[in-house]
Amino acid sequence: MSVKTVAITGNEAASYAFKQINPDVVAAYPITPQTELVQNFSEFVADGVVNTDLITVESEHSAMSACVGAAAAGGRVMTATSANGLALMFEILFIAASSKLPIVMPVVNRALSGPINIHCDHSDTMAARDAGWIQIYSENAQEAYDNIIQAVRIAEDMKVRLPVMVMFDGFIISHGIERVDLLDDVVVRNFIGEYQPNYPLLDVEKPLTFGPLDLHDYYFEHKRQQAEDIKNSKPIILEVAKEFKEISNREYGLFESYHLEDAETAIVVLSSAAGTAKAVVDELRDKGKKVGLLKPRVFRPFPYMEIAQALSHLKAIAILDRSVSFGGFGGPLFTEFRSAMVEFGKIPENINIIFGLGGRDINEQDIRGVYEQLDEIVKSGKVKERVQYLGVRE
Amino acid sequence: MSAVRKKGWREIPKGGLILEAGSAEQYDTGSWRSQRPVRDEQKCTHCMICWIYCPDSSILVEDGKMIGFDYKHCKGCGICAAECPTKAIEMRDENEFREKEGV
Ligand code: SF4
Ligand code: SF4
């Protein structure tokens, strides 16, 4: 297993994955904090290191439209975006998923306007959670790189054939330099294999129609198929992770458990904040406290039974959301988790903490405070406030 | 409307794809019609203007002559009647025929 260890940003790691995947078509539009990713990749294109047709379009709506066209034509297609860019793609996201086009798209998480903000939260991809895309969240640059490579295999699996978003946190990960282990080009190429399009439009021998009018007589049946296909991607995601471990020695599942098995209280949090929370878990464990962490990786399809089971033995949990579902009962993670726990039948006491909107830092002190609050809930058996906002000025 | 059994979600191609070309022919758009074009053979000069204008390829032609309409697909838009230079086509109320044809 030959590995190259480098110090690079999350965006650089992602663009390196693009280079090794060498897609047929990338259609993209720049948006902070994704800009560097495609900019780096455009250098690989200019240097002739990849054979990709890089289409520099005039908007993200066009970027995703061009991706849909290229994928329907039979190409291996990728793009990347953030926040408002993802919002501008919204209409076409649904068309990509419903047409079963295996496009892979890193989304560098950033707060949606307004007011305008370029820093990290998850309001962008949470708003797109029902578009029919598989959604995989990454904690750091290494995971972003690994997840993008795995995403190609997941998306293109004949049993799945769905587009995949791979998330990592804007600036915190996209612009922070980290140690990343890169695989060999040949290893990545063999892992992803040759792309076999199902129904390429360019096959003139077999003419077919993409995107026809589909009214009350068949639209519902097509949506039912989509619901089934994304559900069935779960075992494929795990199979791909298993094979990926063989080439990388790195382990991936539907979520990551950190000191969860014998924990009494735990935090559930996505992406980079999980890294900070792990440091706090280590510190509290040294003091003999039974604390743990669950970091969701695959949010769509949502592995509700597995997650509810992993949490079922806990006395209290805090579910941290880096986005708001305005007018809803808590953030999107919270509502999914509560519903999963009800289905499983064991419901640890729980609170929802909305944090980090627009890039507001969450530090170790904040996370220590959450574990202290969970302790109090266990002691008193009472939850004072179910949905809370952490780090906002009163 | 046809009484064809509609397929379940497990039986149809995925992604909303239609895997055969020209399948629109199977769709009975003639059922949308509220007015029916009827031609007066005496007035028709077989100029083919109606054939050019019909948006649904519903003008039937044989050996260079206009021979009638494909009522399975004619939507009754009346364009042929409006364009016919000899006013050979008249748009008639569909109900007249429905009663006669017992539809
Ligand atoms: S446009 Fe009128 S005259 Fe010409 S072919 Fe049609 S029906 Fe006949
Ligand atoms: S009424 Fe319209 S659809 Fe019917 S034959 Fe005339 S032009 Fe064609």
Instruction: Please give the Cα distance from A49 to A25 (Å, whole number).
Output: 14
B83 CA closest ligand 1 atom index: 1
Helical ranges in chain A per DSSP H: 10-21, 35-46, 60-73, 83-98, 123-127, 141-156, 185-192, 219-231, 233-248, 272-286, 304-311, 332-344, 364-380
B2 is a domain residue = no
Residue A221: closest CA among chain B residues belongs to which residue? B9
3-state DSSP assignment of residue A372: helix
| Confidence (pLDDT) at A122 | 98
> How confident is the model over A322-333, as a mean pLDDT?
97
Q: Inform me whether the C-beta atom of residue B16 falls under 8 Å from chain A C-beta atoms.
A: yes
> How confident is the model over A229-244, as a mean pLDDT?
98
* Number of Cβ atoms within 10 Å of the Cβ of B33: 17
Given a contact cutoff of 8 angstroms between Cβ atoms, the answer to whether A141 and A8 are in contact is yes
| pTM exceeds cut of 0.90 | yes
The tokens for A373 are: 């609050």
Residue A81: pLDDT above 50? yes
Name the residue with the closest Cα to ligand 2, atom 8: B54
B77 CA closest ligand 2 atom index: 2
Using a pLDDT cut of 70, give the percent of chain B over it.
Answer: 94
B20 is a domain residue = no
Q: What tens digit of pLDDT does each residue of A154-202 get?
A: 999 999 999 999 999 999 999 999 999 999 999 999 999 999 999 999 9
Tell which one of B84, B87, B90, B91 to mutate to probe ligand 1, the residue whose CB is within 8 A of the most ligand atoms: B84
- Does B50 sit in the ligand 1 pocket, CB within 6 Å? yes
B46 CA closest ligand 1 atom index: 5
Residue B76, domain CATH: 3.30.70.20
Shortest distance, CA B7 to any CA of chain A (angstroms):
8
Instruction: Please give the Cα distance from A138 to A295 (Å, whole number).
Output: 9
Given a contact cutoff of 8 angstroms between Cβ atoms, the answer to whether B44 and B90 are in contact is no
Q: What tens digit of pLDDT does each residue of B48-88 get?
A: 999 999 999 999 999 999 999 999 999 999 999 999 999 99
- Residues in chain A with CB shorter than 8 Å from the CB of B23 are 209
Residue A51: pLDDT band with limits 50, 70, 90: very high
Given a contact cutoff of 8 angstroms between Cβ atoms, the answer to whether A265 and A290 are in contact is yes
| Confidence (pLDDT) at A127 | 98
Cis peptide bond upstream of A115, omega within 30? yes
Residue A296: pLDDT band with limits 50, 70, 90: very high
B94 is a domain residue = yes
Residue B10: pLDDT above 60? yes
Contact: B14, A217; criterion CB under 8 Å: no
Q: What tens digit of pLDDT does each residue of A37-46 get?
A: 999 999 999 9
Q: Which chain B residues in 20-49 lie under 8 Å from chain A, judged by CB atoms? A: 20-21, 23
Paired residues of B69 in beta bridges: B59
Across chain A, mean pLDDT equals: 97
B79 is a domain residue = yes
Query: For chain B, what is the domain count?
Result: 1
Instruction: Please give the Cα distance from A109 to A18 (Å, whole number).
Output: 18
Centroid of ligand 2 to alpha carbon of B44 (angstroms)? 16
B13 is a domain residue = no
| Confidence (pLDDT) at A1 | 58
Residue A337: pLDDT band with limits 50, 70, 90: very high
Which ligand sits closest to the CA of B88? 1
Contact: B15, A99; criterion CB under 8 Å: yes
Range of the domain at B61: 27-101
| Confidence (pLDDT) at B102 | 66
Residue B13: closest CA among chain A residues belongs to which residue? A222
B84 is a domain residue = yes
| Confidence (pLDDT) at B1 | 45
B3 is a domain residue = no
Of the candidates B12, B17, B20, the beta carbon closest to that of A221 is on B12
B6 is a domain residue = no
| Confidence (pLDDT) at B4 | 67
| Confidence (pLDDT) at A255 | 98
Residue B3: pLDDT above 70? no
B53 CA closest ligand 1 atom index: 1
Cα–Cα distances (Å) from A80 to A61, A72, A77, A108, A143, in that order, read 12, 18, 11, 8, 16
- Does B44 sit in the ligand 1 pocket, CB within 6 Å? yes
What are chain A's domains?
3-248 (3.40.50.970), 255-389 (3.40.50.920)
Residue A271: pLDDT above 70? yes
